[in-house]
C-alpha cells in the first residue's frame, strides 16, 4: 500500500504534502508510486475536494471516512472545524493502476485475494478505516499545536520539520 | 535522446546540470529543555488558568496602543476586532479537540454555532456561559449574545468623550473569527452597550452577529432537508 497525504487550506490551496508507504506487515514505509502518479495523485485529491464539499454540511463529524474512489485509489478525509481538509489517498498496488488509459475492469480476483490477507492493505476493511481515523486524529492534534503558534496564519504552508516528522511517525504507527 | 530537436553540438559543451539540491538543514533553535510546542499537552486543567491581573495588564496595553494609533471610536473597535479575529479561528479547533473523543462535531448550523459560542467558548474563555442568546426581532439574520458583565471590561473605565467605545469589541472579533472559520460567515460581529436603562448591570454588553444572506439561505435549505 502506498499513501499520499496532503493538507488543503480553506481556499483549496495545498499546505503540506507527504508520501509514504505502509509499515505494517513488513512494509518498508516507502511509497511505490510510479512517476506519472505523482501529479495524478494531486489531480485525484483535488477532484475529491468536491465530494468533501458535498458532505461537509450534512455530516457533522470531523472524520468523514472514505469520500471518494478513483480506479484503484481510495481517498479518506478529515475536515477540521476551521475548514482545513486532511486528505489521504491510498493505493494498494500503484504498479498495476492504469492512469493514462481509462479502464473499468476491476483488478483480478487473485490479486485482491492476496492483498486481503494483509490486514492493512485492504482499503475497504473496517481495520483500515479505524487505522486511518487514528492517524488523522494524531495529525489533527499536531495540526492544532502548529496552528496555535502566534506566528502561524490561516492558509500558510506548514514548513516545520518537526511537524513533518510527527506526521511521518503517526504514519509509521498506524498505517 | 528523445525530443523533437537535438541540441547543437557546440551548445552541448556549455551544458551544466543544476547542482544537486542540498539536503534540508534545520535552522530551528530548540530551548534548553529540547521541547518544542509539539511536546506540549493541549488539554489544560483548571489549575492552569491564566491570571486575570496579567490579562488585564496586557489588554490594557493593547487598548492603549490602538487608541494612540486611531482617530475615532469605530477605528479603535475595528482594530480590537482584528486583534481578536485570529484567536477565534484558532480557538475553534482547539475546543473541538478538547471535546470528548468521537463525539466532537463541527457546528454546521447557525443555531449550533450560536450555542457553541454561548456555552463552550464562553466557558473556555470566561469560565461561565453567556447570559442570553436572542434572535433579532426585525431581521432574520441577526442574533445577539448578551453578557451582563464582560470579563474583559472589568478594569476598564471609558472617558466621557468616547463613551460609545466598548472594548469587548475584542471578544466580538473572537466570535467573528470563529464564525468565519466554520464557514458560517458574518457581515461583522460588533459589541454594543445595552444602554443606561439597566441599573442592575451597568456594563451589560450585546454582541450583535449579522450572518450573511447566503449563509441564512443555506441554513434554511438544510433545515428543510
What ipTM score was computed for the predicted complex, to two decimals? 0.82
Partners of A56 on chain B (C-beta within 8 Å) are 108, 183
In a domain, B210, yes or no: yes
CATH number at residue B103: 3.30.1380.20
- Give the best residue of A7, A62, A82 to mutate against chain B (max B CB count within 10 A): A82
Partners of A58 on chain B (C-beta within 8 Å) are 108, 222
In a domain, B33, yes or no: no
Sign of the C-alpha dihedral computed for residues B218, B94, A157 and A34 taken in this order: negative
Question: What are the pLDDT digits (tens) for A71-113?
Answer: 888 999 999 999 999 999 998 887 777 766 555 455 544 444 4
CB burial of residue B66 (10 Å; 0-12, 13-18, 19+)? buried
Which pLDDT belongs to residue A89? 93
* Positions in chain B whose pLDDT score sits under 70: 1-15, 21, 26, 28, 45-47, 197
Closest partner residue to B104 (CB to CB) among A62, A161, A163 is A62
Closest partner residue to B93 (CB to CB) among A144, A149, A160 is A144
Which pLDDT belongs to residue B224? 87
- For residue B185 the three cell numbers come to 460567515
Is B106 close to A60, i.e. CB distance below 8 A?
yes
In a domain, B191, yes or no: yes
Which pLDDT belongs to residue B63? 94
Q: Which domains are seen in chain A, by residue range?
A: 2-95+122-174 (3.30.450.70)
Which pLDDT belongs to residue A119? 47
pLDDT at A27 exceeding the cut of 80: no
- Give the best residue of B31, B124, B183, B217 to mutate against chain A (max A CB count within 10 A): B183
Q: Contact A88/A17 with Cβ under 8 angstroms?
A: no
Which pLDDT belongs to residue A124? 78
Which pLDDT belongs to residue B78? 94
Closest approach of chain A CAs to the CA of B218, in angstroms? 9
Nearest CA in chain A to B40: A145
Q: Mean of the per-residue pLDDT values for chain A?
A: 84
Nearest CA in chain A to B93: A81
Closest partner residue to A81 (CB to CB) among B24, B26, B96 is B96
Q: Which helix (H) or strand (E) holds B96?
A: helix B73-98
The total number of structural domains in chain B stands at 1
Which pLDDT belongs to residue B9? 52
Question: What are the pLDDT digits (tens) for A111-170?
Answer: 444 444 454 567 778 888 899 999 999 999 999 999 998 889 988 999 888 899 999 999
Q: Which domain holds residue B60?
A: 51-224
Which pLDDT belongs to residue A101? 56
Closest approach of chain A CAs to the CA of B123, in angstroms? 18
Is A58 close to B36, i.e. CB distance below 8 A?
no
Is B90 close to A141, i.e. CB distance below 8 A?
no
Interface check for A66 against chain B (CB to CB < 8 A): the answer is no
Which pLDDT belongs to residue B39? 86
Confidence of residue A65 (pLDDT cuts 50, 70, 90): confident
CB pairs under 8 A between A and B: 74
In a domain, B7, yes or no: no
Amino acid at each position: 500500500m502506498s499513501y499520499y497525504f496532503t493538507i488543503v487550506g480553506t481556499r483549496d490551496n495545498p499546505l503540506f504534502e507527504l508520501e509514504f508507504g505502509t509499515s505494517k506487515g513488513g512494509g518498508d514505509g516507502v511509497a511505490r508510486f510510479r512517476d506519472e502518479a505523482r501529479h495524478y495523485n494531486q489531480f485525484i485529491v483535488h477532484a475529491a475536494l468536491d465530494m468533501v464539499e458535498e458532505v461537509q454540511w450534512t455530516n457533522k463529524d470531523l472524520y468523514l471516512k472514505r469520500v471518494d474512489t478513483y480506479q484503484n485509489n481510495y481517498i479518506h478525509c478529515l475536515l477540521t472545524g476551521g475548514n482545513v481538509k486532511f486528505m489521504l489517498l491510498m493505493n494498494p498496488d500503484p504498479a498495476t493502476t492504469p492512469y493514462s488509459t481509462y479502464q473499468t475492469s476491476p483488478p483480478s480476483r487473485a490479486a485482491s485475494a492476496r492483498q486481503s490477507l494483509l490486514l492493512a492493505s485492504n482499503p475497504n476493511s473496517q481495520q483500515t478505516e479505524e487505522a486511518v481515523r487514528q492517524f488523522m486524529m494524531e495529525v489533527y492534534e499536531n495540526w492544532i499545536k502548529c496552528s496555535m503558534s502566534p506566528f502561524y496564519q490561516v492558509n500558510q504552508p506548514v514548513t516545520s520539520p518537526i511537524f513533518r516528522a510527527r506526521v511521518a511517525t503517526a504514519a509509521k504507527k498506524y498505517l | 535522446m528523445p525530443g523533437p530537436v537535438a541540441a547543437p553540438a557546440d551548445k552541448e559543451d556549455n551544458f551544466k546540470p543544476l547542482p544537486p539540491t542540498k539536503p534540508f538543514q534545520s535552522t530551528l533553535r530548540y530551548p534548553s529543555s529540547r521541547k518544542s510546542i509539539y511536546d506540549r499537552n493541549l488539554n489544560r486543567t483548571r489549575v492552569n488558568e491564566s491570571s486575570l491581573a496579567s490579562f488585564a495588564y496586557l489588554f490594557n496595553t493593547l487598548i492603549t496602543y490602538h487608541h494612540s494609533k486611531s482617530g475615532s471610536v469605530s477605528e479603535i473597535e475595528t482594530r480590537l476586532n482584528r486583534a481578536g479575529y485570529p484567536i477565534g479561528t484558532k480557538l475553534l479547533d482547539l475546543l473541538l479537540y478538547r471535546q470528548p473523543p468521537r463525539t466532537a462535531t463541527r457546528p454546521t448550523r447557525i443555531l449550533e454555532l450560536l450555542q457553541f459560542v454561548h456555552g463552550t467558548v464562553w466557558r473556555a474563555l470566561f469560565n461561565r456561559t453567556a447570559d442570553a442568546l436572542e434572535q433579532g426581532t426585525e431581521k432574520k439574520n441577526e442574533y445577539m449574545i448578551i453578557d451582563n458583565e464582560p470579563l474583559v471590561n472589568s478594569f476598564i473605565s471609558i472617558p466621557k468623550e468616547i463613551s460609545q467605545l466598548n472594548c469587548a469589541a475584542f471578544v466580538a472579533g473572537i466570535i467573528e473569527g470563529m464564525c468565519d472559520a466554520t464557514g458560517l460567515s458574518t457581515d461583522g460581529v460588533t459589541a454594543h452597550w445595552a444602554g443606561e436603562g439597566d441599573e442592575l448591570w451597568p456594563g451589560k454588553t450585546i454582541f450583535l452577529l449579522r450572518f450573511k444572506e447566503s449563509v441564512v439561505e443555506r441554513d434554511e435549505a438544510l433545515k428543510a432537508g
